Amino acid sequence: MTPMPTGRERTKAPAGRTRPSAKRALAGRMSWGLADQAVCSMTNFAVGVYVARSLGLAAFGLFSLAWVTYGVVLSVSRGVSTDPLMVRFSGVPVASWRAAAARSTGTALGVGAAAGAVCLVAGVSLGGGAGPAFAALGVVLPGLLLQDAWRFSFFAAGTGRKAFVNDLLGGIALIPALLVAARVGSVVAFVFAWGTAAAVAAGYGCLQSGIRPRPAGARAWLRDHRDLGYRYLVENVGVSGAAQLRAYGLGLIVGVSAVGVVRGAELLLGPFLAVLMGLSLVTVAEAARVLRAAPHRLRLFCLLLGGGQAVAALLWGAALLLVPDRFGELVLGGVWHSASELIVPATLGVAGAGLGVGAAAGLRALAAARRGLRCQLFASACYVGGGLGGAGAAGTVGSAWGGAAAAVAGSAGWGGQGGSGPREDQRASITEVRTS
């Protein structure tokens, strides 16, 4: 008879197999996250470039205002619906995740419907060039927010492959939609094209997950997660609201075309801006897993994340400086010459923001919403003050340099709070994680 293994023998072998398996699982989730972000980056870049070439600088400025407004609504949706999902339902049993995902996506859909109604009314009231663009945005907002919510839900479940497929489908659906919009040749047509492609992906997300969003569960979701949701709401709106205030202020101080110039410079750094906007798809969930498995490694994880993001942005910006004008004109058309003057400050701004991404992910994983809120409000105040102060002093270029300085200052604030956080909040954060 084969002797039974001792307790030490029974645990030793599986432990040896578990550690490489856990590392492979982490690498797989991160790989799908990077692939998904690559698709998002290319899609956003393609939309911006195509609209810039098709409409010209002034109309592109109007489209950019609609884009920035969408960013604010998206921040509201993420704050109250998907950010709590990422923190509290990453790596939980499937049944718990499914119930939470149904309520979270239903909450996002409800936010889209409510904000869409406001945009629609505002657009009809405004009239002129901006009014129709905002009205069109109001129509497509529910689909846009639901598609984004599915991406967060899939990453919380550790199935980033589904998020990648979903975004890939949205990108494919965008191709014929943009071709039709180009024939029409208006800002409204391009907003509808963008939103229609997202609606297709949102519908497919329901099929992928086998879950139907539950808007009726939104009230219970908001109540159960109000301790995190409302702080994340203010924190997220601080990011996008600062960008919106800067865009509106720049349009008033310098002109609508200046908004298009700044957006053009952002498009040149699109791969990193898109990653920064949606990085919590991967990093918050992974930081939460690191916290549960090896809390002492959380700080190193955050440092590597922020430092890698900053270095990658600097390398990309250096490559942009070598791009010939002929190629730049081919990509952005008449927007290139003005936008290329902002490459250096825009790069420094993205790199500075990247430094704070790691600390922000760590604070989210720790459920340290109060300290994260303080950091974000400080960073947003710097961004608005630097951007508008620079615009008043030196126009569009001054606004870009002011924004870069503000990004560095804001990241310093994030780093200061993140560096003191893990030991302080570790025990409280672990007890915050819910599985039902």
The whole-angstrom separation of Cα 100 and Cα 157 is: 11
**Sign of the dihedral defined by the CA atoms of residues 265, 271, 272, 275, in that order:** positive
Q: What is the pLDDT of residues 157-204, one digit of tens each?
A: 888 899 999 999 999 999 999 999 989 888 899 999 999 999 999 999
Structure tokens that stand for 301 in this block: 């994880």
pLDDT higher at 27 or 96: 96
Residues 289-328 as b/e (b if ≥16 CB within 10 A, e otherwise) read bbbeeebeebbebbbebbeebbebbbebbeebeeeeeeeb
pTM attached to this predicted model: 0.68
| Predicted confidence (pLDDT) per residue in 48-76, tens digit | 888 878 877 777 878 888 888 898 899 89
380-383's contacts with Cβ under 8 Å and 24+ in sequence apart are: 380/238, 380/239, 380/241, 380/242, 380/410, 381/242, 382/406, 382/407, 382/409, 382/410, 383/242, 383/243, 383/246, 383/407, 383/410
Q: Stretch 371-388: mean pLDDT, rounded? A: 83
How deeply is 79 buried, as exposed, middle or buried, from its count of CB atoms within 10 A (0-12, 13-18, 19+)? buried
Pairwise CA distance, residues 41 & 150, whole Å: 17
Residues 127-145: what's their mean pLDDT?
Answer: 89
Per-residue confidence (pLDDT) for residue 160, from 0 to 100: 85
Please tell me the total number of residues recorded for the chain in this structure: 436
Eight-state DSSP code of residue 78 = I
